[in-house]
Amino acid sequence: MEAQRFTYKPALLKPAQTWELEGPILRGPGQVVDLRDVSDAGMSEHVIKRTRMRRLELVTSKGKLHLGLNQDEHLPAWDQDRAAHRALCSAIAERLAEVHPDMAVAMGTTGGARWGMFVVGALSLLVGLGIGIAAMITGVSGDRMAAAAVPMLGLILLGFVVVRSHAPWKPVPKVPVALVPAILEALDGVGSDRADDPTEDGGAAPS
């Protein structure tokens, strides 16, 4: 089976990294993962403060592998790094579907990361509410109250959304691994952007 290579920058200030997928073997920076050894997988995406954070997590007998991408949410679907990361995640999902046909992928943050996001959301919610309560108790002027209203409501809204979507007691929805490529294309609106995609191949290059 012909090897595929995917190169992308996981974040603005991080160097580019290259991953190679040949059969069920995934190779990357200091990593070699046999997808036949993957026992669980998860896919998550969040947009916080105009930063899109997408991550594929693979659980093996040796630990967890995180393939993440953090970038400006306004970058188009055919942005080179975004397209390459999407192509890598899709290729891994397709290969997992071959070696683990019955595998289901958790769509959302799981484990410690889920608790971390929940705590961040709760703190944001409490800070926003605290600002409002403190303003009312101290009797600040209407002008100051109006100036503080936007950041206060922003914190409350952000906190509410994060807490609601990352409540640890809620079950994380799962989908068949074979559906992950189509889900990623739908999330990125690839169908509507593809006509303008200058990369066309989505960032993957056979070796």
CATH number for position 91: 2.30.29
Nearest alpha-carbon partner for 86 in 1, 163, 199, 167: 199
pLDDT value of residue 60: 95
pLDDT value of residue 196: 44
143 & 96 share domain: no
CA distances from residue 118 to 53, 59, 171, 180 in whole angstroms, order as listed: 16, 22, 14, 25
pLDDT per residue rounded down to tens, the chain (207 residues): 689 999 999 998 999 999 999 999 999 999 999 999 999 999 888 777 788 889 999 999 999 999 999 999 889 999 999 999 999 999 999 999 999 999 999 877 655 555 566 677 677 777 777 777 776 777 666 666 666 666 677 777 766 666 666 666 666 778 899 999 999 999 888 764 443 444 444 455 544
Edge-to-edge strand ranges of the sheet holding 31-34: 31-34, 25-28, 17-22, 4-8, 204-206
15 & 82 share domain: yes
pLDDT value of residue 195: 39
**Which residues contact residue 128 at a Cβ distance below 8 angstroms, ignoring those fewer than 6 apart?**
152, 153, 154, 155, 156, 157, 158, 159
158 & 184 share domain: no
86 & 119 share domain: no
Please tell me whether the overall predicted TM-score, pTM, comes out greater than 0.85 for this model.
no
116 & 45 share domain: no
117 & 183 share domain: no
Rg of the chain taking only CA atoms, in angstroms: 20
pLDDT value of residue 32: 95
92 & 117 share domain: no
H helix intervals, 18-139: 80-99, 111-138
124 & 22 share domain: no
Q: Which amino acid is at 24?
A: P
Domain that holds residue 138: 111-165
Q: What span, in angstroms and rounded, lies between the C-alpha atoms of 113 and 108? A: 10
93 & 192 share domain: yes
- CB of 58 closer than 8 Å to CB of 25: no
Q: Torsion angle of alpha carbons 162, 166, 167, 168, nearest 10°?
A: -150
pLDDT value of residue 110: 53
90 & 135 share domain: no
**Residues 112, 25, 12: CA angle, nearest 5 degrees:** 55
159 & 187 share domain: no
**Which residues contact residue 138 at a Cβ distance below 8 angstroms, ignoring those fewer than 6 apart?**
none
124 & 36 share domain: no
Task: Domain count for the chain, please give it.
Answer: 2
pLDDT value of residue 4: 96
Nearest alpha-carbon partner for 89 in 52, 200, 13, 81: 81
